């Protein structure tokens, strides 16, 4: 067969490999399988997946545009550290957009949508205990459903690149994120939407999306090497480039 499997990810050589590599590498970065500041050499990854360097290179270009890798010409390609300030800005954008989505939903009628969301809530409670990773998927689905319901599905698509900045933080330390509390907040949002309480829904959504602000400083304290410290201290301390892979 023309299937190559590396680290649990499969690549189908019969279809275009460049977009597949892009998705695989993005996922590996967001899930912290490829760690910040680790090298991603073109020939090495090409050999790993049994393809040429060109598709790898094209995947790198896309990841660079998303701010996930940094390619320094004639020097090497590295997984970006998490930009603390970028996370804050991404969160700001998400709060603004989803607050308006919540307002829109609460000011209209959405009986079928409410039923769907309720079902998702019970599902979230069921699986969250066992697998925080599975909860991440359901969380993603929940927020996407809200966007769809508000008739702005494409807007959610716009946020995908932004959201990846926040997701990286979550994947570093699941335990820092109070999943049960997050689900309660989800339920609160749905309640307000059902009651057509516009500003209530908005406030609940904003509170929900500010939750990461509680965890973020602790995560940075635990894993300072994973972060680009450009948040408060304007003095940029350029730390050494240190290899990650042996």
Partner DNA sequence: ACTTGCCTACTTCCATACAAGTCAACAGAA
Partner DNA sequence: TTCTGTTGACTTGTATGGAAGTAGGCAAGT
Q: Which residues bind a copy of itself (CB under 8 A)?
A: 16, 18, 54, 57-58, 61-62, 65, 73, 83, 85-86, 88-90, 92-93, 95-97, 99-100, 152-155, 158-159, 161-162
Cα separation, 66 vs 144, whole angstroms: 20
**217: partner contacted, choices a copy of itself, DNA, none (Cβ within 5-8 A by kind):** none
Shortest gap between Cβ of 62 and a copy of itself (angstroms)? Answer: 6
Shortest gap between Cβ of 1 and a copy of itself (angstroms)? Answer: 21
Shortest gap between Cβ of 239 and a copy of itself (angstroms)? Answer: 21
Strand 227-228, strand 82-83: pairing: parallel
Of 1, 5, 7, 73, which one interacts with DNA (CB under 7 A)?
A: 73
Cα separation, 192 vs 169, whole angstroms: 29
Cα separation, 71 vs 235, whole angstroms: 24
Tokens of 76: 């090497």
Shortest gap between Cβ of 23 and a copy of itself (angstroms)? Answer: 12
Decide if 34 contacts 25 (C-beta within 8 A). Answer: yes
Rule CB under 7 A: say whether 58 interacts with DNA: yes
What is the total count of residues that contact DNA (CB under 7 A)? 23
Cα separation, 62 vs 160, whole angstroms: 14
């Amino acid at each position: 067969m023309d299937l190559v499997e590396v680290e649990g990810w499969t690549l189908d050589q019969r279809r275009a490999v460049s977009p597949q590599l892009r998705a695989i590498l993005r996922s590996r970065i967001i899930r912290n399988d490829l760690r910040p500041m680790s090298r991603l050499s073109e020939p090495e990854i090409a050999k790993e997946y049994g393809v040429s360097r060109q598709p790898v290179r094209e995947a790198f270009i896309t990841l660079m545009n998303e701010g996930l890798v940094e390619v320094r010409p004639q020097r090497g390609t590295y997984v970006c550290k998490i930009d603390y300030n970028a996370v804050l800005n991404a969160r700001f954008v998400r709060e603004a957009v989803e607050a308006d989505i919540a307002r829109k939903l609460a000011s209209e009628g959405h009986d079928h949508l409410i039923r769907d969301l309720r079902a998702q809530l019970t599902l979230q409670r069921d699986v969250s205990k066992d697998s925080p990773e599975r909860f991440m998927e359901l969380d993603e689905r929940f927020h996407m459903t809200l966007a769809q319901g508000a008739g702005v599905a494409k807007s959610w698509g716009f946020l995908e690149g932004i959201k990846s900045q926040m997701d990286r933080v979550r994947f570093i330390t699941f335990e820092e994120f109070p999943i049960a509390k997050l689900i309660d907040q989800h339920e609160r949002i749905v309640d307000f939407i059902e009651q057509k309480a516009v500003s209530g829904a908005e406030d609940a959504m904003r509170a929900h999306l500010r939750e990461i602000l509680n965890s973020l400083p602790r995560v940075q304290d635990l894993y300072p090497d994973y972060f680009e410290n450009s948040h408060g201290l304007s003095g940029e301390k350029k730390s050494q480039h240190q290899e990650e892979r042996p």
